[in-house]
Amino acid sequence: MSMRGNSLLGQTLATRYEVVEYVDSGALGDIYKARDKRLSFRQVAIKVLRPDTPDDQVARFKREALLTGGLSSPHLTRTSDFGVLEDGRAWLAMEYLDGQSLATLLAAEGRLPVARAVHIADGMLAGLEAAHAAGVVHRDLKPSNVFVVDEPGVCDHAKLLDFGFAKVFEGDQPALDVTGEERIVVGTVSYMAPEQLRGQRTGPPADLYSVGLILFRALTGELPHAAMGPDASMLTQARFRAANLDAPPRALVDVGPEFADLSALSAVLAKALAPRPDDRFASAAAMRRALAEALDNALPPRASTPAEGAERWRHAGTENPLAVHRPPTVAAPEPEAPSTAPSAGAPPHPAVIWGGATGLLAVVIYFIWRAVG
């Protein structure tokens, strides 16, 4: 634990948040656990930026506070407050989560049974329904920005994290931030929609594309555009994607014989991953309905109580006739690391959590712009 990590212990922010525990550090700041004195000492997470944080990252931090503070859904991480310390550091109070990121889960499991993967995807889409209804597109969905928790009566409850790259969409407003003549692509290359990689307007269909990629990854252990394998470098992935932006993705049924009977689910993924935004689902709600219909006959009978429902999902890997049963192949870590899930038992929080673009990512973006522009 660094001395900086201890700096807020014992302090009370905004006369409300009593800092009780240092959790971890990221590239741009620290994470603490605090108690909300106004709400029966409910636990909250406090994210604090470092004094030398670049201005663009501070702006992203403030954007996350502004956007998530106005969203309401059990599948979105709630932000309750935002402020600035006396030394100028910005801080954010948000819901404290006890669980693990989907990236951590996939690193351990390799891939998930069909019912479990679809259940998590359904939670993601439920969160997007609320965000899109409020005019907000996430733009950086990936396994490390999906947190999975167990709640009373519900296992694998998915919550979307990190709206720092999110943007309000309306009318003909461009979805990419532009500074002068420099075009800046935001997001994570492996999980971007084609229009994001091209620097075009980005709306809800881009988020649905990312959900399709995440679900494909959860089911198979690889990405549909990762023909070279899951351990390929980010630059290799970028080269492949830049050369195949208009090509339809691999079909789920073509990945292996164990997926041959999943034609309905394969069709849902094909629609979600259509290269053209207009060819994808009209909304997150429409994609949720399609997923439910695709698997309705394959899932165990629906439970009559929340507790039975929790057990249904927990054991879906053995009860679901379409679940993948072969031993999982643990894929190499994604080219993005697990997210800031403010939990004392979570793994270290990497730089990508705080939005710092690495040199490698800059090279990848440059390559893509040369290839497609």
Residues with a catalytic annotation lie at 140
Q: Look up tokens 């240092």; give the residue.
A: 22
The amino acid sitting at 275 is P
The amino acid sitting at 129 is E
- The three state secondary structure string of 171-217 is CCCCCCCEECCEECCCCCHHHCCHHHHHCCCCCHHHHHHHHHHHHHH
Q: How far apart are CA 82 and CA 134, in angstroms?
A: 20
DSSP letter, residue 112:
-
Q: Look up tokens 């609320």; give the residue.
A: 130
Nearest to 246 by CA among 215, 286, 274, 209: 274
CB 103 within 8 A of CB 142: yes
Q: How far apart are CA 295 and CA 118, in angstroms?
A: 9
Q: Look up tokens 């990405």; give the residue.
A: 223
- Stated as kind and residue range, the H or E segment containing 13 is strand 12-13
Length of the chain: 373
- How is residue 336 written in tokens? 């993005």
**For residue 59, is it left (φ>0), alpha (ψ between -120 and 50) or beta?**
alpha
Q: How far apart are CA 126 and CA 114, in angstroms?
A: 18
- How is residue 188 written in tokens? 């994570």
Say which residues have a Cβ less than 8 Å from residue 367's Cβ, sequence separation at least 6: 235, 238, 239, 242
